[in-house]
Structure 1
Amino acid sequence: MSELDAVRRAGIEVTGIEIVDEAERTAKPSDLFWPWFAANVSVFGISYGSFVLGFGLSLTQAVLVTVLGVVVSFAACGLVAIAGKRGSAPTMILSRAPFGVVGQKLPGVFSWLISIGWETFLAITATLATATVLRELGWGGGTATKVVACAVIAALIVAASVAGYHVIMRMQSVLTWLTGAATIGYILLTFDQIDLDRVTSLPGGSGQAVVGAFVMVMTGFGFGWINIAADWSRYQRRDTSGAQIVAWNTLAGALAPVVLVVYGILLAGSSDTLSAGIVNDPVGTLASVLPTWFLVPFLVASVLALVSGAVLGIYSSGLTLLSLGVRIPRPAAALVDGVILTAGTVYVVFVAQTFLGPFQSFLITLGVPVAAWAGIMIGDIALRRRDYDEAALFDASGRYGAVAWTSVATMVVASVVGWGLVVNQISGTAWNDWQGYLIEPFGLGTRLPDGAGWDGAWPYANLGVLAAFAIGLLVTLVARRSAVRRQEAGAA
């Protein structure tokens, strides 16, 4: 038996960025439900209710923003996932069609960075959640607890991501039931904390505040996954309906977040103390309203849900690393990203004093070019009528070429415009206050002196994310139509 066969028999996926063999493409659209639902059915989603209300919205506005932001963002993931069944390759390999085999490295770098960032954030949150809940129980919560929690959580994430697609799919189907049941239990046990009279009397906010909350919800949910959306649909049968892929992606991704965020709105809107606490310590504050006997199930559900999301992220970040030209097996790529994740978690949990503010600023910054890429990718998918030429995705002299300068330039311009319309004046991030440089020229607000923030309603709406996405989409639909037709006709 060869070494490769031994690895396969151990249940480890050896397929990397290469095309998935037709014999292995046996998944049904409904199979997409398990990874997407499991990764998003987390009690942590309840905390977003406080974030949404932080924009000063009424109950009706907050619910509308939540439903639209979550559903639209996961529908966008579904559109990108169509490329997976058309090309049987990871998202960042399929992105070579609009960007060129070499040009794809530009969005690939941003995709890898944001994936590493998100999965590290989830691992950090899971580690801190463990320490917080055990402290509530009086079972520790100090350095020793964090060391053990960090080691166990990192091991779970890395082991599952190294094993690959088939193990992850089985794991996610189990986690869906466990985390779903515990989340329902949390809602039932805290429902008496809701004060409907208080929540329904919340005053409404401005249109700019509604837009800002909408962008925050989109980037916090579906847009956080969009750069890896096709990684799970590449195992779908080639004759699968694209509409079914979009539908299952949207349903699975959006179902839990909509319910959880709306519940979080009701919970946070009922108590100023609870709402303020969630902003600084989401897991600890959510646990504070639970009976003691439920803290252990709450901890298990919280950690498993966060681990579930991190597993999807690290699996895909490994594939993205391979797409950038790193020549190692897929399990090794996942392991490399796992080492980075572990190092980042250890640093933040045990060394860093101020991390979350700078880290949030870092993710917002990366969110702009990823939104630009998403617009370009969705526009390109909409223009195509045929499956991808899979061999040409790996050949710079093939029909997709080395560099598609229109897409590269579009992403650069969209990112420059987008960064000019977002603000990152988060505590401890003076190094990132260069953004927002188009807000005053466009008459959308005024920068206050001495780094005191902005005057006006529009600066904090973070229009740059929407602008980057729109520029990428519209320019692609108009400027790349003939290029796509030439590609599908077989011209290099």
Structure 2
Amino acid sequence: MSKMVSDEIPQANRIEHAGVDVIAESARHGHPHSLFWPWCAANVAVLAVSWGGYVIGFGINLTQALLVTLIGVVASFLLVGLASLAGQKGSAPTLVLSRASFGIKGNWLPGLVSWLLLVGWETSLCALAALSARTVSERLAEGSGDVAAAVALVLVAGSGIYYGVLGFEAIMRAQRWLTIATLALTAGFIALTMDEVHLGAAFDQPAGSTTAVIGALVMLVAGFGVGWINCAADYSRYLPRDASKAGIVGWTTFGGALPVVLLAGYGLLLCASDPALIDQFYDDPIGALTPMLPTWYLLPFIAVALLGLAAGVIIDIYSSGLTLVATGIPIQRPVAAALDGVLMTIGAIYVVWFAPNFLVPFQGFLITVGVPLAAWGGIFVADLLLRKERYDEVKLFDESPQGYGVANPTAIVIMLVGTVIGWGLVTNSLASWLTWQGYLLGPLGLGGKSGDWAYANIGVLVALAIGFVGYLVLCGARVRAQESKELALTSP
């Protein structure tokens, strides 16, 4: 089977049609530093401030929390940086390159998991945008909440669909301006709330236990970058073959980690100064921040919240469209992005106006799906590191034994094993029908479902590790065999 190649050079004012296609040499362009903008924009969200409360909630002091946040967030996005190398190495979307480890048909499993998670988080972000606008609007003018929610949903969902359909170049340009605008408005928020920080009280807290520190660290690593691995190559696949690998990893990691470290770090200062904020962040992260602000800054504040959420939706909807196409469904990339946008909008409308109590359990479901995605992420990164040569662009579309095959049962079993063990090491109290998770915390002596490890999401990292180590050990020979055949075919 011949490979699918796109020599289209994407333009900001034209719809990109490249889907599962390998990007031709003539269409590759750009520099690694361009990766800073999409990853920074997608993570500059004031909701990251609330993570300061979640970290302090483990019972550690401010010094410990600041170190844990820096190390955990950077380590988390380093995984995204490493996965971004696959885009340069294969010049195809992430879930197309995943065929090398799972086979063409076997890739349906991670493809389905990835698509569900992306569309789910798109829906969740849109619903959060509408609910946040309603909260702020009601403080400004009682009874105006529903109108504000509708406007916010139109803006966030509309921007996601618009840029998701237009494609790569339009997104890269938009994310640059979204980053600049959001950082400027966020700086205003910090300047106006600095009087809430009391460094004397913030640093006057006893140190937490080693278990608590590790638990907070694990939560941070699992909570950010792991959920972005399935998008990583989508934004690096247009880079030239000779682009700096260190630059790709570095700029991706820096772009994703910088805003989270700053915003979560500021949240740490706020919560260490006033521990009552911790519970408020759990209940309503946006509502907890608005009382700190003067009334005149509420509109800029909701603007920064909506811009950050919109940037996340744009990243997700573009990748969800590519993922849907990568599963083999006969649909064009722009149509797939539009379809996902329609599903996202319908879901957000349902959550905001018909089932407001559904958002929390729905997020619990997304966290549950995140465990198999982590197992896949470990496999994907391991496969990438095992390959000394580039992905074979023809074999990505070839189900025969000479290609990447129909399915790799070993990779599928590793992913399933990682999922089962991972679910046993996470707790999920966001819905009554998800409380079955965490069944290994007690038998393994980790304190059960209410112990120190209960809310660390250690199962996400365990699933990632099982995927990574399992694939290295059990599939290394498969990768070497694939590459030896490739070298034999290309030898004179």
TM-score, length of structure 1 as denominator length: 0.93
The correspondence for 2:437, drawn from 435, 438, 441, is: 435
Q: 1:445 maps to what in 2?
A: 447
CA deviations 1:356-407 (Å, max 9, x no partner) are 4312321221121111111111111111111111111011114311111211
Report if the CA contact (8 A) 2:96-2:326 is conserved. yes
How far, CA to CA, are the matches of 1:245 and 1:153 in structure 2?
Answer: 29
**Displacement after TM superposition at 1:461 (Å):** 3.0
**Displacement after TM superposition at 1:227 (Å):** 1.2
Q: Which amino acid letter does the alignment assign opposite residue 418 of structure 1?
A: G
Q: 1:182 maps to what in 2?
A: 185
The correspondence for 1:346, drawn from 326, 346, 349, is: 349
CA deviations 1:438-472 (Å, max 9, x no partner) are 223223234xxxxxxx3432333332112111111
How far, CA to CA, are the matches of 1:214 and 1:9 in structure 2?
Answer: 39
Q: Mark the CA change 1:239 to 1:221 in structure 2 (over 3 Å): closer, same or farther.
A: same
How far, CA to CA, are the matches of 1:211 and 1:359 in structure 2?
Answer: 28
1:138 maps to 2:138: no
Q: More displaced, 117-126 or 82-91?
A: 117-126
Q: 1:107 maps to what in 2?
A: 110
**Displacement after TM superposition at 1:90 (Å):** 0.5
**Displacement after TM superposition at 1:208 (Å):** 2.7
Residues 282-297 of structure 1 mapped to structure 2, 5 A cutoff:
282-297=285-300
Q: 2:426 maps to what in 1?
A: 422
**Displacement after TM superposition at 1:9 (Å):** 9.2
How far, CA to CA, are the matches of 1:458 and 1:348 in structure 2?
Answer: 31
**Displacement after TM superposition at 1:151 (Å):** 2.3
Q: 2:477 maps to what in 1?
A: 482
**Displacement after TM superposition at 1:434 (Å):** 1.8
Residues 337-486 of structure 1 mapped to structure 2, 5 A cutoff:
337-397=340-400, 398-426=402-430, 429-446=431-448, 454-486=449-481
Q: Which amino acid letter does the alignment assign opposite residue 54 of structure 1?
A: G
CA deviations 1:301-343 (Å, max 9, x no partner) are 1101110111000110111111112211111000110011101
Report if the CA contact (8 A) 1:399-1:490 is conserved. no
Residues 196-211 of structure 1 mapped to structure 2, 5 A cutoff:
196-211=199-214
**Displacement after TM superposition at 1:139 (Å):** 6.7
How far, CA to CA, are the matches of 2:142 and 2:82 in structure 1?
Answer: 46
Q: Identity over aligned residues, as a percent?
A: 49
Q: 1:212 maps to what in 2?
A: 215
Q: Mark the CA change 1:10 to 1:465 in structure 2 (over 3 Å): closer, same or farther.
A: closer
Q: 1:129 maps to what in 2?
A: 132
1:320 maps to 2:323: yes
How far, CA to CA, are the matches of 1:259 and 1:317 in structure 2?
Answer: 28
How far, CA to CA, are the matches of 2:142 and 2:185 in structure 1?
Answer: 21
**Displacement after TM superposition at 1:158 (Å):** 0.8
Secondary structure of residue in 2 paired with 1:14: coil
Q: Mark the CA change 1:211 to 1:360 in structure 2 (over 3 Å): closer, same or farther.
A: farther
Q: Mark the CA change 1:197 to 1:105 in structure 2 (over 3 Å): closer, same or farther.
A: same
Report if the CA contact (8 A) 1:8-1:14 is conserved. no
Q: Which amino acid letter does the alignment assign opposite residue 166 of structure 2?
A: A
How far, CA to CA, are the matches of 1:293 and 1:401 in structure 2?
Answer: 61
Report if the CA contact (8 A) 1:130-1:141 is conserved. no
**Displacement after TM superposition at 1:275 (Å):** 2.9
Report if the CA contact (8 A) 1:101-1:393 is conserved. yes
Q: Which amino acid letter does the alignment assign opposite residue 444 of structure 2?
A: F
Q: 2:3 maps to what in 1?
A: none
How far, CA to CA, are the matches of 1:88 and 1:219 in structure 2?
Answer: 27
Q: Which amino acid letter does the alignment assign opposite residue 487 of structure 1?
A: Q
Q: Which amino acid letter does the alignment assign opposite residue 319 of structure 1?
A: L
Report if the CA contact (8 A) 2:13-2:170 is conserved. no
Q: 1:222 maps to what in 2?
A: 225
Q: Mark the CA change 1:135 to 1:102 in structure 2 (over 3 Å): closer, same or farther.
A: same
How far, CA to CA, are the matches of 1:132 and 1:141 in structure 2?
Answer: 10
Q: 1:275 maps to what in 2?
A: 278
Q: 2:31 maps to what in 1?
A: 28
Report if the CA contact (8 A) 2:219-2:455 is conserved. no
Q: Which amino acid letter does the alignment assign opposite residue 409 of structure 1?
A: V
How far, CA to CA, are the matches of 1:256 and 1:460 in structure 2?
Answer: 24
How far, CA to CA, are the matches of 2:287 and 2:106 in structure 1?
Answer: 44
1:49 maps to 2:44: no
Note the aligned Cα RMSD (angstroms): 1.9
How far, CA to CA, are the matches of 1:8 and 1:198 in structure 2?
Answer: 53
How far, CA to CA, are the matches of 2:80 and 2:294 in structure 1?
Answer: 38
Secondary structure of residue in 2 paired with 1:264: helix
Secondary structure of residue in 2 paired with 1:44: helix
Q: 1:16 maps to what in 2?
A: 19
Report if the CA contact (8 A) 2:12-2:170 is conserved. no
**Displacement after TM superposition at 1:21 (Å):** 2.2
**Displacement after TM superposition at 1:152 (Å):** 2.7
Q: Which amino acid letter does the alignment assign opposite residue 474 of structure 2?
A: A
How far, CA to CA, are the matches of 2:221 and 2:227 in structure 1?
Answer: 8
1:152 maps to 2:147: no
Secondary structure of residue in 1 paired with 2:406: coil
Q: Mark the CA change 1:298 to 1:275 in structure 2 (over 3 Å): closer, same or farther.
A: same
Q: Which amino acid letter does the alignment assign opposite residue 112 of structure 2?
A: V
How far, CA to CA, are the matches of 2:102 and 2:344 in structure 1?
Answer: 28
Residues 213-252 of structure 1 mapped to structure 2, 5 A cutoff:
213-252=216-255
How far, CA to CA, are the matches of 1:254 and 1:379 in structure 2?
Answer: 22
Q: More displaced, 298-307 or 349-358?
A: 349-358
How far, CA to CA, are the matches of 1:466 and 1:336 in structure 2?
Answer: 32
Q: Which amino acid letter does the alignment assign opposite residue 419 of structure 1?
A: W
How far, CA to CA, are the matches of 1:374 and 1:224 in structure 2?
Answer: 9
Report if the CA contact (8 A) 2:325-2:336 is conserved. yes
Q: Mark the CA change 1:344 to 1:9 in structure 2 (over 3 Å): closer, same or farther.
A: closer
TM-score, length of structure 2 as denominator length: 0.93
Report if the CA contact (8 A) 1:78-1:249 is conserved. yes
How far, CA to CA, are the matches of 2:475 and 2:392 in structure 1?
Answer: 17
**Displacement after TM superposition at 1:106 (Å):** 0.8
Q: Mark the CA change 1:358 to 1:153 in structure 2 (over 3 Å): closer, same or farther.
A: same
**Displacement after TM superposition at 1:147 (Å):** 2.4
How far, CA to CA, are the matches of 2:363 and 2:212 in structure 1?
Answer: 19
CA deviations 1:151-191 (Å, max 9, x no partner) are 23211211111111111111011111100101111111111
Q: More displaced, 229-238 or 265-274?
A: 265-274
Q: More displaced, 173-182 or 277-286?
A: 277-286
Secondary structure of residue in 1 paired with 2:237: helix
